[in-house]
């Protein structure tokens, strides 16, 4: 942990302890963070290698490939289309519900857009 000092407009100095610093870790081993209470908007996942904390939305973006990839998908996919994590392919919502929902996991473009805050 490092401490950073910032100067305000009126000349006061504020010190903040930086608890998370970006590292060169690829974050490929994410585990649930042992929170006492589950809340989707808090940090509920942790990288086992570097200790970086993730919220549910950040984890979705990390798994999918980032905001740019979500933005590209909004140009070609419908909001109800589902991205399958196992097959790494997009599927129509109706096809997903009737054929694949029980055997695969996925996320809709709507959820990704909300996570990316586009």
Residue 45 inside a domain? The answer is: yes
More confident residue, 64 or 14: 64
Residue 56 inside a domain? The answer is: yes
Q: How many domains does the chain have?
A: 1
Residue 20 inside a domain? The answer is: no
CA dihedral 22, 25, 29, 31 (to 10 degrees): -20
DSSP string for residues in 51-89? --EEEHHHHHHHHHT-HHHHHHHHHHS-TT-EEETTTTE
Q: Which residues pair with 30 in a beta bridge?
A: 47
Residue 106 inside a domain? The answer is: yes
Q: Give the residue numbers spanning the domain of 39.
A: 28-116
User: Average of pLDDT values for 80-84?
Assistant: 95
pLDDT tens per residue across span 14-42 = 665 555 555 567 777 777 766 655 555 56
Residue 113 main-chain phi, psi, to 5 deg: -65, -40
Residue 84 inside a domain? The answer is: yes
Instruction: Name residues whose C-beta falls within 8 Å of residue 24's C-beta, 6 or more positions apart in sequence.
Output: none
Residue 97 inside a domain? The answer is: yes
């Amino acid at each position: 942990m490092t401490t950073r000092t910032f100067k305000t407009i009126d000349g006061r100095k504020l010190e903040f302890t930086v608890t998370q610093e970006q590292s060169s870790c690829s974050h490929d081993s994410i585990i649930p963070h042992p929170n006492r209470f589950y809340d989707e908007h808090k940090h509920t996942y942790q990288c086992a290698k570097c200790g970086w904390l993730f919220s549910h939305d950040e984890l979705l973006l990390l798994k999918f490939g980032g905001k740019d990839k979500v933005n590209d998908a909004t140009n070609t996919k419908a909001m109800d289309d589902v991205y399958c994590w196992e097959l790494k392919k997009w599927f129509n919502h109706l096809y997903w519900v009737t054929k694949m929902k029980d055997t695969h996991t996925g996320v809709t473009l709507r959820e990704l857009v909300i996570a990316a805050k586009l």
